[in-house]
Structure 1
Amino acid sequence: MLQTVRAQLMSRPFLWLLFICNLLGSIYGFYWYADQLAATPWYWTFFVPDSPTSSSLFTLVVLLWLIGRSSPLLEMLAMVTNIKYGIWACGVIFTYGAADGSIEPQNWMLVVSHGAMAVEVILYNFAYKFDWRLLWVGAIWLLYNDFVDYVYRIHPYLQDDRFFADVMFWTPILSIATLLLTAVLRPKILRNKHV
């Protein structure tokens, strides 16, 4: 049963569907950030579109699989960033929704799309070839991004500043939890496979 599911996930038609969905989602994500990107000094713009950058990394991973290649570094970065920012967006939306008493339909779309980001990269854990020792690169990526986001206020726009302190506190904790989760998910595979 498990092998059948994995075979389906790695089938070319399904990978093409995954590639197209992630590509379109990434394009829409960059469009979503257009105003914030325009208002941000050019030297910080890389740090603004966290979610579309994450989904773009996974889009590249899927494209490499489609052409018979792989990149352990890209796989690791795609995994940690999609888990982190997928959960982050859902957490922020639910926090404001709980305080406001409702969640707008547009935000439910964001919950579904960002939740899917986190789920899909975990589903493909069996296919990755990265060694957990590469996680130091992911740690630098996530934690430096957190530093820039909340010291220089480059973080994604929040609905308002009511929960800024909470988001600033929990975001690096989420980064560390993501890295630990990824480390836990990788070792049993690496005993049988080498990068």
Structure 2
Amino acid sequence: MGEFILYILRQRIFLLVLFIVNFLGTIYGYYWYENQLMATPPQFLLFVPDSPTASLFITIAIGFFLFGKRWPFIEAFAAVTLIKYGLWAVAMNLGAQATGTPLSLVSWMLILSHAGMALQAFLYMPYFRIKPIHLVLVAIWTLFNDFIDYYFDMHPWVARSLEPFMTEIAVFTVSLSIFSLLSVYLLNKYLPKVDLR
């Protein structure tokens, strides 16, 4: 079963569909952040749209795959940020529900699509060729992004019912960054590598 899944994941038609889905999701994601971006000081704009930037990285990585190329630095960014922001969005939506905000159809769309983001990272880990230096650079960016988000209050907007818990969310987010970095490091180190061909 595992071999069959690995076979499907590297098929050109599957990669093309995944490229299109991620490309469209990236565009929608930046649109989703439109109001927050309009209210963001220019020097912080790069740090606000987290999830669409993660899906942009995997879109670029898959684009390289389609041409038989690879860009390990982008693969590292994609793997870490897909896990981090995929799981983060799922947790924030479920956390909002637990604190009194009913889950809407949009909430379920966000939960499923972001869970899919994290799943992509885990599924494609055997295909990535990430080196420790790539993860060091991603770690610097990711943790600096957390600092910008929670020191300067540039984090993605959350449901009102979650606003009293911003300190806990900040701790959770930094912990999730570390978890994502460690997961990618360990999986990349110990999972057998699979060629794209």
SS at match of 1:100: coil
Q: In structure 1, how many angstroms separate the alpha carbons of the residues matched to 2:193 and 2:159?
A: 45
Q: Who is 2:169 aligned against?
A: 167
Mapped contact 1:132–1:186 kept (Cα < 8 A): no
Q: In structure 2, how many angstroms separate the alpha carbons of the residues matched to 1:16 and 1:182?
A: 24
Q: In structure 1, how many angstroms separate the alpha carbons of the residues matched to 2:171 and 2:14?
A: 38
Alignment of 1:51-90 (within 5 A): 51-90=51-90
Q: Who is 2:146 aligned against?
A: 146
CA RMSD of aligned residues (A): 1.7
SS at match of 2:84: helix
The structural deviation recorded for 1:125 is 0.7
The structural deviation recorded for 1:103 is 1.2
Q: Who is 1:38 aligned against?
A: 38
The structural deviation recorded for 1:44 is 0.7
Q: In structure 2, how many angstroms separate the alpha carbons of the residues matched to 1:30 and 1:128?
A: 26
Gaps (5+ residues) in structure 1? none
Q: In structure 1, how many angstroms separate the alpha carbons of the residues matched to 2:14 and 2:193?
A: 28
Q: In structure 1, how many angstroms separate the alpha carbons of the residues matched to 2:174 and 2:5?
A: 34
Q: In structure 2, how many angstroms separate the alpha carbons of the residues matched to 1:179 and 1:102?
A: 32
SS at match of 2:164: coil
Aligned length: 193
Alignment of 1:79-118 (within 5 A): 79-100=79-100, 102-118=102-118
Q: Who is 1:183 aligned against?
A: 185
Gaps (5+ residues) in structure 2? none
SS at match of 2:102: coil
Q: In structure 2, how many angstroms separate the alpha carbons of the residues matched to 1:21 and 1:192?
A: 23
Superposed CA offset, 1:59-96 (max 9, x none):
00000000111011000000000100001111111111
* Matched residue type, 1:165: T
Relative to the length of structure 2, the TM-score reads: 0.93
SS at match of 2:121: helix
Alignment CA distance shift 1:125-1:45 (3 Å): same
Q: In structure 1, how many angstroms separate the alpha carbons of the residues matched to 2:148 and 2:11?
A: 39
* Matched residue type, 2:17: L
Mapped contact 1:143–1:175 kept (Cα < 8 A): yes
Q: In structure 1, how many angstroms separate the alpha carbons of the residues matched to 2:101 and 2:174?
A: 27
Q: In structure 2, how many angstroms separate the alpha carbons of the residues matched to 1:122 and 1:32?
A: 25
Mapped contact 2:126–2:194 kept (Cα < 8 A): no
